[in-house]
Amino acid sequence: MAARTPPSASVPQSRLSDTEKMDGTGSWEAIEWTKNESLGRTISHGFSRFLLEAEEVIREGYGVVLVNTDEAGTLLVTNYRLLFVSEKTRDIIALGTMPLAVIEKFNKLAVKQTSGLRHADKPPVRRLLQVFGKDLRIIVFGFRARTKQRRAVYEALLSCTKPARLWDLYAFICGPSKYNGNNPKARLLDEYFRLLGISSYLQPSIHMIEEGSFTLSNIWWRISSINSNYTLSATYPFALIFPKSITDEEVLQASTFRARCRLPVISWCHPGTGAVLARSSQPLVGLMMNMRSNADEKLVAALCTQFASGKEGRRKLYIADARPRKNALANGAMGGGSESAANYFQSEIVFFGIDNIHAMRESLSRLREYLDTYGTTSSDGMSSYLRHGGSSWGGGNLSSMSTSVSTLGDSGWLIHVQNVLAGAAWIAARVAKESASVLVHCSDGWDRTTQLVSLTSLLLDPYYRTIKGFQALVEKDWLAFGHPFSDRIGLPTLSGSGNTPVELSRQSTTGSFHSPSIRQQSGSFTQPSGSSHTHSSNSYSPIFLQTFLVEFLDCVLSCRFGNFLCNSERERQQFGVSDACGCLWSYLAELHSSDGQSHVHFNLFYDPMKHDGPLLPPAAALAPTLWPQFHLRWACPKEVEAGDIEAKCRSMDSKLSDLQKAKDAAERKTWEVTAAMESLASELRNEKQLSSSALHLAKNASKENAAIKRAIQSLGCKIHFSGSGDTTIDVEHCGTESPHKSFYSLSKQQSVRKLPSDEKSDLSISIGLMHNDDLPTDSFTRICESLCPLHSPDGRCRWPEAGCAQIGSQFVGLKANFDAFDRLSIDDGYF
């Protein structure tokens, strides 16, 4: 590729053409490589908002360029990860952020400028740092010249990515924090109890484990404590399920006939038919394939119980050897090999042809190089196939990429995945359709065997398709049964039975993975001697990567939690991992509880009512393509986002959930407003009732006042009502004598009827009495006889206490005796 003469340093970035930016004159060239002064240093605590608990910054590099995306920023090396923060957005760039445990190897590279075209102010060499990830990433960082930042970052990576001891990992430094988990042994027993059908009335406990009282059984199978101290097999769990007819003594005898004493044990059993899925390692039949073990043959035969339906005869047994046949025969030279159907009752041997860990490792290396070559974020920072206008990935459909499909096929990755899927589907069909028992093994029984058994269980048992069940499946078949995670992902582990951790050895340039050929850009790349560091362990292999979810893979590779440390249950117990480290299941449970059904692990398309039995996929479904959410997430992130229908549905479901929450909040607010309005209406009705009652009382009081006034006036007296406060009676004697006034005060509390609350004043009465001489004699008699309702026909008064005022024998009026009034209920009917 012809190099372009870079523009002058004075040319502003905004004036650069798109072609110039693609050719390396964009943000990559914006870094002034010749200046020695450093950029304005950002204090490390300014990035504290990005750090996890107990995460500390060890080294910082400023003005660093992420070559894959031509972004400038700050590169931090912490005790947990490489952290790249964009200078533009001041946020984490996911592509440039990688946990230290995920780093497989890293190289110091140099790119030399073509001498005739190099700008006078440019240095002859650019300093690069290339990092290879176990998650299919290849990222390259560019550093400023003569700042020694690359050296500082490189040395920090040397010390941090090469832990001498297991407890130097971040999981131990961070501790359990808020992600505490219960005892993994109790979780394993809980799953065993479910398989035996006794979980409904019995729950495992630490006390039960310590006493060994978990050795329970049903009509076919039993839980044994023979390996409680890991003396039977160091890589098996403390509790094992065997046929009920096999004693512990026979178990001991059978264990010597299998590699690493990983004898046949039951991993899953059908609750209705009695069929089982068992696992083991290869038998030690030897080079001539003629070695036998009566105890092993009896144990395997016991897996074929009678049919639960009462059908005559015994069920068939399939022995599924995950290896290619030639590999199984070759293992005979080292004492291993495969079974002979003639030696095992009613059995059939099947080989699945799945390659070993070394083939998987090389295949992943080729796949990573393929993705880096054709991805949009290529590690060389130049225009890739897709940047030149090639077809899009189509959400994992690579058929349109005619120029590169052959390269993908050469990697062999999809063939390996297809073999594993086909094997699991075949085993599930035998168990579901024939009610047959299947014994699965490979060489050691912890890699391909684990893949097949776990995937088959997922197809057969709907419980394992739930969040809780999936956790139980991982803990049982991957963790408890000894998949060597530390070896497979390249971590420190125990050597033999001692306590001395073994360092991760690294070597220069000649690792298990190849560095992809670096394509030239404006010069040529060179690699200084001794600058490549990689895992040299021959046990590293992406076995777990072929099987499980992105979240699980990231947690396994990053070593943030302790669940996947070490190689076996025994080693994790010896290190006290469950007490010293955080638990992945607690972390995921928190995510699920906070996000509800919108969390990334929730399958929106899965109907548990429709798929409540075994899943038996057709052959067409066993032709896999690249997994976009994992394989393409770094190489083609935009294409993955555009083609991820599930993510779109999840986003829509999240929005729908938010709208539902808003609707519920609005309905609650409406209810509150309605309740408040009803309360106010009720108060208003009460006020109206009180007002009506007060008005009625006022009307009655007015009527009574009018009646009193008429009665007194009819007696020839003058009466006056006023609201001056107290009740006042004025009696005036008309005639020759001087007027005489009589005053009487009556408080409101002494009145006959209480006035309404809004009438504050009391009643005042003024009565005037005329002199005897001014009144006709017979008039008083007539008044008394005709008007007084208390005057009886016989001339007697029925109200003597009223104290009628008389002159002589004549009735002249009422004496102001209000005590009598208090005892008299005056009504209009009296007058």
User: Looking at the annotation, which residues are catalytic?
Assistant: 442
What are φ and ψ of residue 189, in 5° steps? -65, -35
Written as one letter, the residue type at 501 is P
Place of tokens 């950029």: 39
Q: Decide if 376 contacts 635 (C-beta within 8 A).
A: yes
- What is the DSSP secondary structure assignment for residue 481, as one 8-state letter? T
Q: Where are the beta strands (DSSP E) in 67-168?
A: 71-78, 81-86, 98-99, 103-113, 125-133, 138-143
Among 449, 496, 436, 438, smallest CA distance to 477 is for 449
Among 329, 315, 305, smallest CA distance to 245 is for 305
Show the tokens assigned to 551.
């979240």
Q: Decide if 451 contacts 543 (C-beta within 8 A).
A: yes
Using left for φ > 0, alpha for ψ between -120 and 50, and beta otherwise, residue 103 falls in beta
Written as one letter, the residue type at 141 is F
Give the CA distances from residue 636 to residues 71, 136, 140, 629, 643, in Å, rounded to whole numbers and listed in that order. Answer: 16, 12, 16, 10, 11
Q: Where are the beta strands (DSSP E) in 87-134?
A: 98-99, 103-113, 125-133
Written as one letter, the residue type at 92 is I
Using left for φ > 0, alpha for ψ between -120 and 50, and beta otherwise, residue 11 falls in beta
Written as one letter, the residue type at 538 is N
In this structure, are strands 347-351 and 317-321 parallel, antiparallel, or unpaired?
Answer: parallel
Report helix angle 645-714 to 777-787, nearest 10: 140
Q: Which residues of 394-432 are buried (b: 16+ CB within 10 A; e: fewer)?
A: ebbebeebeeeeeebeebbbbebbebbbbbbbbbbbbbb
Element (H, E) at 413: helix 413-434
Burial class (CB in 10 A: 0-12, 13-18, 19+), 253: middle
Query: Cα dihedral sign for 122, 59, 554, 360?
Result: positive
Mapped onto helix, strand or coil, the DSSP state of residue 569 is helix
